[in-house]
Structure 1
Amino acid sequence: MGPNHWGEWYHQCVGKHQSPINIVEHDVEIVELPKLRFVNFDLKIEEVELHNNGHTVVLLIRHGPLPIILGGPLTGKYQFAQLHFHWGQNDAEGSENRINNGSFPMELHVVFFKASYGSFKEATEHPDGLTVLSFLYSTSRQSNPTYDKFVQMLPMVEKPKSSTIITNFPTFDDLTLTDRDAYFTYGGSLTTPPCSEVVTWIEFKKTIPLSHNQIQYFRQLNDHNGKLLHNFRPVQPLYGRTIRLSISPEWNTLFSDVEKNNKATPRNDGMGIKIRNFSIYKIAVFAVFVIISRIVS
């Protein structure tokens, strides 16, 4: 049963707060949220289980410190539950969320539940129960050394329902090695049934580089019908939801300085129009931010 038929069995799959979505950058609201805090992301994990569930490859922590996330758009502390990946049959597709209608070859979802609810199951009963840290991947000519050990273990879970244990797993900082200051956030859902609309999405703007060969390891995994090559849900309607882009204090300071300058010195643009609207300047500065981010990534 494909995604287009999920709503016949799970009513939330046709709700008004579904994920994934297409993020259009010029429509986002730019904000400076409290800094995200990544607790235990710098600690090595003694033992993890890698599991092919027939839809994706899932990583569970068996022994070691559990990562915690708090701050940003979140109220309270969120505890790690699992992480998994989405990919396509080639480097032109694979991510679930899109940016400006563009897809990426792969996407990582690190799933957390609100610790005060006690369990993942209970958290799914509350609108603020879950948060997903989403990282997009881009292809690079060079391999990403922090992923070498991980991808080389994937053949151990080539068959559906197979599992393997990895010891001395890299830190979560290594796994998510990218700029984590700029991110999009919105209210959404799980991207598989029951599509519960209980997720605060945190979608990082900067990509994680992997080589084509490293991504190919994921494409060698099997589901019950053969190669597992298309495990991403199509984008869902936004239905008027607000997407916010949280940026670093340095960029917000720049915006504030421009706004003050604009208010203090309204000027004529040469065509008899006085420019007093800060949003014009803000968009221009944000455009530079977007261009620089794309060059760096």
Structure 2
Amino acid sequence: YYSQSTCDHPCNVPEKWAGGNVDCGGKSQSPINIVTRKTVKDERLTPIEFKNYQQTFKNSLTNNGHSVKVNIPITSTISGGDLSTTYKAVQFHLHWGKDGGPGSEHTIDGEQYPMELHIVHMKSSYADLTTALRDPNGVAVLGFFYEVSKSPNRMYDTIINGVQSVASKSSFSLPSISLAQLIPPEQKLTSYYRYRGSLTTPPCSESVVWTVFETPIPLSMDQMKAFSTVQFYDGTSMVNNFRPVQPLNGRLVYRSAGATLWVSSLPMVYGSAP
């Protein structure tokens, strides 16, 4: 969310964050392990309305020292799904493991996916993310898991090319992309989990309404491995750039009507939650 230059700690050592950022030791931190049998069904969690997600835009893909990030220069919004208001997309970034191994931030019933996409939104009434983070409901993040597929996901060719180009430098100019091409079709996005949490990187502000979708995005193993070529600012491989799951501390996790109550087996999932 913030560049490494603003971190007063090693950005790639999550265990040390609380020392420099008080919020990172808070009681409503993210990510979490979602235990499906303990989730609470909420009929208000209707399908989220996506507006302007199909619109294409051009911008730079940036290596920000702890992930790869793309700022969103157009007005793409989400509403509905029991969100209190309309939220506009600000940026997206990803978390991954090593060479396609466990790398998601959130886990489902203790199982960790290889990667996770975060599309960060803020209330449309705010001019910047810093202001939105002062509001307990100021930010809404959509989380999507990835799973290994046999064939490449051609919708990601642009992103993969960009990732390979920012391995050891700061940014790469992306050709035209849209948010819609990065995520599953809208009809597959009715199943999701909702809880109140935080940014998963410093300053760890507890201002986030989280929506974690059940349907994963397919990527081939070679596509996933491309992310492991990116480097931290100190020249080491940017792998396992996910924060460990945090305690729930009594928080409830809600599920939409379409979400699975009990996941007995997850295909192409790697590893267990830490």
Smaller-chain TM-score bracket: 0.7 to 0.9
Give the match's secondary structure for 1:44: coil
Structure 1's consecutive aligned runs of 4 or more residues displaced over 3 angstroms after TM superposition are 293-297
Q: What is the SS of the residue equivalent to 1:8?
A: helix
Residues 296 and 29 of structure 1: CA distance in aligned 2, closer, same or farther (over 3 Å): farther
TM-score normalised to the size of structure 2? Answer: 0.87
Q: How far is 1:11 from its partner? A: 1.2
Partner of 2:83: 74
* Aligned-partner Cα distance in 2 for 1:173–1:40: 9
Residue ranges of structure 2 left out of the alignment (5+ in a row): 1-9, 270-274
Counterpart of 1:44, as a letter, is: T
Deviation at 1:61, TM superposition (A): 2.8
Deviation at 1:295, TM superposition (A): 6.8
Determine the C-alpha separation between the residues in 2 that align with 1:74 and 1:118: 19
Partner Cα distance (1:86, 1:294) in 2: 19
Q: Which has the higher contact order (CA 8 A, sep 6+)?
A: 2
Shift of 1:153: 2.2
Alignment partner of 1:231: what SS?
A: coil
Give the superposition deviation at 1:6: 1.4
Indicate conservation of the 8 Å contact 2:61/2:174, yes or no.
yes
Q: Which residue of structure 1 aligns with residue 70 of structure 2?
A: 59
SS at match of 1:226: coil
Q: Paired residue for 2:123?
A: 114
C-alpha contact (below 8 Å) 1:183/1:203 kept by paired residues: yes
Tell me the residue number matched to 2:159.
150
Report what 1:269 is aligned to: none
2: distance between equivalents of 1:296 and 1:92? 10
Give structure 1 stretches of 5+ with no counterpart. 252-284
Kindly indicate whether residue 212 of structure 2 is the aligned counterpart of residue 200 of structure 1.
Answer: no
Within 5 A, what are the aligned runs for 1:61-210?
61-62=72-73, 65-160=74-169, 162-169=170-177, 171-178=178-185, 179-210=188-219
Match 1:219 to one of 222, 228, 240? 228
CA contact (8 A) 1:49 1:164 kept: yes
Matched residues, number: 254
Moved more, 105-114 or 117-126: 117-126
**8 A Cα contact 2:158 2:175, kept in partner:** no
- Tell me the equivalent position of 1:40: 52
Contact 1:91 1:104 in 2 (8 A): no
User: Partners in 2 of 1:209 and 1:27 — Cα distance?
Assistant: 27
**1:22 maps to which of 33, 40, 43:** 33
- CA drift of 1:294 comes to 4.9
Kept in 2, the 8 Å contact 1:73–1:185? The answer is no
Report the residue type matching 1:164 in the other structure. Answer: F
TM-score w.r.t. length of structure 1: 0.81
Shift of 1:95: 0.4
The equivalent of 1:50 in structure 2 is 61
CA contact (8 A) 2:69 2:91 kept: yes
Q: For residues 163 and 90 of structure 1, what CA distance do their matches in structure 2 show?
A: 22
Aligned equivalents of 1:180, 1:227: Cα separation in 2: 33
Give distance in 2, aligned partners of 1:69 and 1:81: 12
Q: Give the counterpart letter for 2:52 in structure 1.
A: N
**One-letter code aligned to 2:245:** V
Share of identical aligned residues, percent?
A: 37
Counterpart CA distance in 2 for 1:114 and 1:99 is 28
Instruction: Choose 1 or 2 for highest CA Rg.
Output: 1
Deviation at 1:247, TM superposition (A): 2.4
Answer 1 or 2: which has greater helix percent.
Answer: 1
Deviations 1:121-170 (A, max 9, x none): 1100010010100000001111111112220222221115x11111221x
Q: Distance in 2 between matches of 1:163 and 1:185?
A: 33
